[in-house]
Amino acid sequence: MSKFANLFRIAYHGGDFHGSQVQPDVVTVEGVVKNILKNLGASSPLFASRTDKGVNATCNIITTTSNKKCKEYVGDFIERLEEYPIWITGFSDVEIDFNPRIAIEREYRYYVFNEKNKVLFNEAMQLFVGKHDFKNFARILDTDIVDTRRTVKRIDVTSKGEVIMCEIRGLSFLWHQVRKMIGAASDVTNGRKNLTDIKKGLNGHKVDFTMAKAEFLTLSNIKYDNIEIEKVRNERNMRIKYELSKNDNFFWKEFL
């Protein structure tokens, strides 16, 4: 029997989950998706990116293998997800050896509220652009063996009324890196730190920075070479099922 590699682009509201990765005794995105795929005759999913408790995604990528092409069971997949704040927004059949973790770019969006000094905030964020050692801007466990050098390709800081939207693009990010970067910029604008402290942190000096809240962070895009994803739209069900808070309004607008 033929085996097919199925790629699905998913979105989810992070407030309902203890992160994306499977953990014992709590509800996670991977746990829900894994059980549904198993019942549909597909393998355990491989996620392109992990997200923490409370972090949203408008674009995460999973792959699985089955004896069907995506179109043959994407409808059943969507239907079985209806009781959860997880949505299939696209799909594609890919090569059997395709690895979703090998992307050419990831994009995160963070919404900052009540920031008075937007010019200084942007100046602080731009310090992170380029290749740096981000060990002071991430959560690194003593048991971790990881290269903490990362390249941030671009950071766009734009205002939407009283709200700042940060779009941060790079190949990959460390655990809590984006939230630490946002927290460091907020530390500067609130007088807890200065721009020199961020420069010191990037140069290897030990500096403690605030970590920004998870619920205002969204994994917004993952890009690959030569992959075309067929779009699925679920706005109607999404609107009906959830009453939106101030933060959630920004999350939902990503779909429109």
**Residue reference for tokens 């030569």:** 226
What's the pTM value of the predicted model, to 2 decimals?
Answer: 0.89
Q: Return the bridge partners of 92, or none.
A: 7
pLDDT at 39: 96
The catalytically annotated residue of 16, 25, 52, 248 is 52
Q: Return the bridge partners of 165, or none.
A: 111, 158
pLDDT digits (tens, 9 = 90+) for 30-78: 999 999 999 999 999 999 999 999 999 999 999 999 999 999 999 999 9
Query: Average pLDDT for residues 235-255, to the nearest whole number?
Result: 52
148 contacts 140 by C-beta, under 8 angstroms? yes
Among the listed residues 140, 129, 207, 214, the one whose alpha carbon sits nearest the alpha carbon of residue 175: 140
The token pair that represents 189 in the structure block:
């604008």
DSSP code at position 252:
H
142 a catalytic residue: no
Among the listed residues 147, 165, 187, 183, the one whose alpha carbon sits nearest the alpha carbon of residue 108: 165
Give the dihedral sign, CA 24/26/32/36: positive
Quick check: 244 pLDDT over 80? no
Please indicate whether residue 253 or residue 50 has the higher confidence score (pLDDT): 50
pLDDT at 250: 61
pLDDT digits (tens, 9 = 90+) for 17-27: 888 888 878 99
**Is position 84 annotated in a ligand binding site?**
no
Among the listed residues 45, 55, 59, the one whose alpha carbon sits nearest the alpha carbon of residue 98: 45
Q: Return the bridge partners of 88, or none.
A: 10
pLDDT at 105: 97
pLDDT digits (tens, 9 = 90+) for 76-129: 999 999 889 899 999 999 999 999 999 999 999 999 998 889 999 999 999 999
Which residue spans within the chain are E strands per DSSP?
4-12, 46-47, 56-66, 86-94, 105-113, 130-133, 149-160, 163-170, 217-223, 230-231
Q: Report how far residue 47's alpha carbon sits from residue 64's, in angstroms, rounded to the nearest whole number.
A: 9
pLDDT at 243: 44
The token pair that represents 13 in the structure block:
């509201």
pLDDT at 246: 44
Hey, what domains does the chain have and what are their CATH numbers? 4-102+224-253 (3.30.70.580), 105-216 (3.30.70.660)
